[in-house]
A and B are shown apart, each in its own frame.
Chain A
C-alpha cells in the first residue's frame, strides 16, 4: 500500500515536470525550425532593408534592445533592491512599508500596455517626441515590483542567527544589513533581478508608444530606437514572406540572448561564492 502511494506520487511529480518542460522545449524547437534557416551573419550586422530588397538584418534592434534593457536595469534594479531592503530591514511593520508593499503588488498586476501609456503621457507627450529614454523608463518601472518583492523575501529568509552574529560584533545595524544580510541573500536577489530582466526583455506593448522602433542605427536616448520585440511584431504583421522569416529568426535570437544574459550574470555572480557556501 505504501509502495503504491509512493509510486503514484512519484509518477504524478514526473508527469507535472514533463508538462512544465514540454511547452518550453516545443516553443524553442519550433523557433529553431522556423528561424534558424534565416540566421546568417547579415542578420547580426545589417539593418533592415527596404521593402522589396531581399536580406538585411536586425543588428540595430539587437543593439537597441541592449540599450533599452540597460536603461531599464539602471532604473529598476537599484530602486527595486533599495525598496526590498527597506521593506525587510528598516520599515518592517510600519504603515509606509505596508503601503509600499501594496503598491508594488498592484504595480506588478498592471498590464504592460498601461505602463507604456503612462510613460507616453508622462515623458513622450511633454517632450513632444518618442525616445529610447521613455521606453527604458517604462521597462524599468515594470522591473521594480518583481525585484523589490523578491529582495524582501530573500532577505527575510536570512537566518536570525546571522544578523545576531553581526550585531554581537558591534557592527552598526545599517552596516550589518548591507554587508552581511544583503550579501548572504545575494544569490536569491540576483535571481529576482534576472527574472525581472528576462520578463521585460520580451515586452513589446510598453515600447509601442515610447521607443516606437527605428529602421536605422540609433543609440541616442532622445531618438526613437529599435528593439527586437518591436521589430518581430512589425515583421510578423507584415504581408511579406521574407519579413516573416526574419521575424522567426528575431524571436529565436531574442530567446537565446535572454538565456545568454541570464547565464552570464549567474556565472559571474557564482564566482564570488566559495566552496561549501550555501
Chain B
C-alpha cells in the first residue's frame, strides 16, 4: 500500500545554484500528484530529493526533512533502503540493454540477493501484468532483450521493473514525454490503475496529462512551489496570479 509524503523546508543545490527553496508540501497516500511548471523550475530536482537520487551527483546538496510514511529519509535510513521503498521511472526509457525482459524486471530483486526462482517468476508476471505489458511479451520473456522493445513498451518495462521491488511510492519524471500519443495514453491508463496501490508523484510538462491523471497538482516556478491544491482548483480557479498565467499559456 502507498504511504503519504511529508516535505518540510526542503532546500536543494547544484553547486552554488539554489535549485529548490523552502518547499513545504504534503503528498497524500494512494493518490496521483502531478508537478507542473516550466523547464528548469526544480520539479525534477524535487522528485529526485524524494528518493535521495539528487545526492548521487557529487556537487549536489540537500537540507530539510522528507518523511515517507513514518520514515525520515535523510535521518533514519540509507539511500539504498529508501530507493527500494520509493521507485522511480525516468524520462527516457532506460532498460538494461544486455538483459532479457525477464531479467530487467527481476533486476532489482536479483541484484539485492533475492534468488527464489519460483517466487521471482511470480513477481515478474505480476509486475508485467500490473504494467500492462504481460500480454505483449509473455512469449519472449527470456528470449528478447529489453532494448528490443518499442519505446512505449520499454517505458512500461521500466515501470514493471520499478514495481517488482514492491515500493510504496512511485516517482515518475516526465514518463511519457519521449513517447508517441498511443503509448502516452497507455501510460496514463496505467497510472490510473496503479494509484490504488501506490502513492504516485508524476512530473509532467503536459498540463492535460496532469488534469487527466492527478487528484492534486503542485505548480513550481524558479525553485519555489507557488501553489499546491486539488487539480480541479489549480486548473479552474488558481489562487495565485502566476499559476493562472502559466495555466492559460501566457508564459512557459
What is A's interface to B at a CB cutoff of 8 Å?
Answer: 159, 161-162, 164-172, 175-176, 179-180, 183-184, 186, 273-278
Contact = CB atoms under 8 A, between A and B. Distances in A.
Given A176-B111, A179-B111, A273-B98, A167 B53 contact: yes
Closest 3 CB pairs of A and B: A276-B148, A170-B84, A169-B108
Contacts of A276: 144-145, 147-148
Interface string B139-174: 000011101100000000010011001000000000
21 contacts: A159-B94, A161-B90, A164-B56, A164-B90, A165-B96, A167-B53, A168-B51, A168-B83, A168-B162, A169-B87, A170-B83, A170-B84, A170-B165, A171-B107, A180-B96, A183-B98, A184-B96, A184-B97, A273-B145, A275-B145, A276-B145
B49 interface: no
B94 A172 contact: no
B98 A170 contact: no
Contacts of B162: 168-169
Nearest to A159: B94
A162 B95 CA distance: 7
Contacts of A169: 83-84, 87, 107-108, 111, 161-162, 165
Interface string B82-122: 11110110101011111110000001100110000000000
User: Which among A165, A170, A274 has the greatest number of chain B C-beta atoms within 10 A?
Assistant: A170
B228 to A, nearest CB: 25
A118 B97 CA distance: 43
A170 B82 contact: yes
Contacts, number: 91
A175 B111 contact: yes
A272 to B, nearest CB: 8
Most buried by A among B84, B90, B98: B98
**Chain B: interface size category:** 20 to 34
A278 B154 CA distance: 14
Given A170-B85, A179-B111, 14 more contacts: A162-B96, A168-B87, A168-B88, A168-B90, A169-B83, A169-B111, A169-B165, A170-B80, A170-B81, A170-B82, A171-B112, A180-B107, A180-B111, A184-B97
Contacts of B161: 165, 169
A180 B148 CA distance: 18
Contacts of A168: 51, 53, 83, 87-88, 90, 162
Contacts of B82: 170
Given A164-B90, A168-B87, A169-B161, A277 B145 contact: yes
A57 B108 CA distance: 56
A277 B107 contact: no
Contacts of B94: 159, 161-162, 164-165
B90 A184 contact: no
A275 B83 contact: no
Contacts of A172: 80
Given A169-B161, A273-B98, A161 B81 contact: no
B139 to A, nearest CB: 13
B160 to A, nearest CB: 12
